[in-house]
Amino acid sequence: VEAVKRGRAGLRVSPPFFVNRESGDYSTEMKGVYELEDPLVP
């Protein structure tokens, strides 16, 4: 899993960046950030 994600504006998000391996989902903290402008799409 890539530990760095680039947003639409080239935003670089560094650790702490955790992924729940069981669900393949972002951690709750990261969800709160990404859901603002970049909703997660499975």
Domain ranges in the chain are 5-34
CA–CA dist 14, 2 (Å, integer): 10
Convert the pLDDT of each residue in 1-42 to its tens digit: 444 554 444 445 555 555 555 655 656 666 666 555 555 555
CB-CB contact of 14 with 4 (8 Å):
yes
- Per-residue pLDDT, 36: 53
Q: What is the pLDDT of residue 8?
A: 47
Angle at 24 between CA 18 and CA 30, to 5 degrees: 35
Is the pTM higher than 0.85? no
DSSP letter assigned to residue 35? T
Q: Return the pLDDT at 42.
A: 52
| Token pair for 34 | 């990404």
pLDDT value of residue 1: 46
Res 10: pLDDT: 45
